[in-house]
Copies of this chain bind each other. A is one copy, B any other.
Amino acid sequence: MSEPPRGIQPGNGVDEYLFDPRLLERIVDIKDGIWVRPLSIEDYDKGFIQVLGQLTKVGDMSKEQFSERFRKMKASGDYYVIVAEDKNVGEVIASATLLTEQKFIHNCALRGRLEDVVVNDKYRGKSLGQLMVRTVSLLAQRLRCYKLSLDCKDTIVKFYERLGFIKEPANGNHLNARFDYESPTSNL
């Protein structure tokens, strides 16, 4: 048996986590009672949904819905949701998601996508957003992503630029088509 990685307490089975916690080894340590770890299936009861609710509409998600999505993400193997937990109170206080998009191009490369970065309002000003983004960035490199992409509002561009992201010349546009849920009919 090898030593348990730093930050992972013996007795906590790794089965509960979305991905192997050892992937965060030597990236983040516990500091001021705050540790960064993979999302756990137990986090529904630890305030994860409430934190996401500070980012956007989450909806009235049951524990069963959460668990089902968690399992689907885990089965896919492309989802790396990380959370910061305040061990003093046992609550999730921040989250960020790395999606590793499988490509055929660039020798079957992985492209990282940074999604859904959020920090509990009460914990603002502690650079936790920065910690989450840097953790995802290092994790993306560890997983050998050739780049890490994100889409964001004008107001947050400078924050990401300080963390090494670049709006590339003539190639920095993000567009959306939004749908209602009616069945589509062909209009080709």
Q: Which residues of A contact B (CB under 8 A)?
A: 26-28, 48-49, 52, 55-61, 65-66, 68-69, 72-73, 76-79, 81, 99, 101-108, 113, 115-116, 131, 134-135, 137-138, 140-142, 144-155, 157, 160-161, 163-168, 170-179, 181-188
Given A102-B69, A174-B172, A188-B131, A61 contacting B27 (CB threshold 8 A): no
Asked if B173 contacts A166 (CB within 8 A), the reply is no
- Are the C-beta atoms of B186 and A26 separated by less than 8 Å? yes
Q: A76-B78, A149-B176 are in contact. Are A107 and B59 (CB under 8 A)?
A: yes
Residues from chain B with Cβ under 8 Å of A79 in the complex: 102
Point out the residues of chain B lying under 8 angstroms from A146, CB to CB: 178-179, 181
Chain B residues whose CB sits within 8 angstroms of the CB of A140 once the complex forms: 179
Q: Which residues of B contact A102 (CB under 8 A)?
A: 69, 72-73, 76, 79
> In the assembly, how many copies of this chain are there?
2
Pair B175/A134 contact, Cβ less than 8 Å: no
Residues of A contacting B: mostly:
mixed
CB contacts (< 8 Å) of A60 on chain B: these are 107
| Inter-subunit contact A181/B101 (CB<8 Å) | no
Please indicate the chain B residues that have their CB under 8 angstroms from the CB of A138 in the complex. Answer: 184, 186-188
Residues of chain B with a CB closer than 8 A to A104's CB: 48-49, 52, 58, 61, 66, 69, 81, 116
**Of B137, B171, B177, B185, which one neighbours A177 at CB under 8 angstroms?**
B137
* CB atoms of A55 and B105 under 8 A apart: yes
Chain B residues closer than 8 Å to A188, beta-carbon distance: 27-28, 131, 134-135, 138
Query: How many angstroms from the CA of A102 to the CA of B107 in the assembled complex?
Result: 25
Could you name 6 residue pairs across A and B whose Cβ atoms are closer than 8 Å?
A: A56-B106, A141-B182, A141-B184, A148-B179, A150-B176, A151-B151
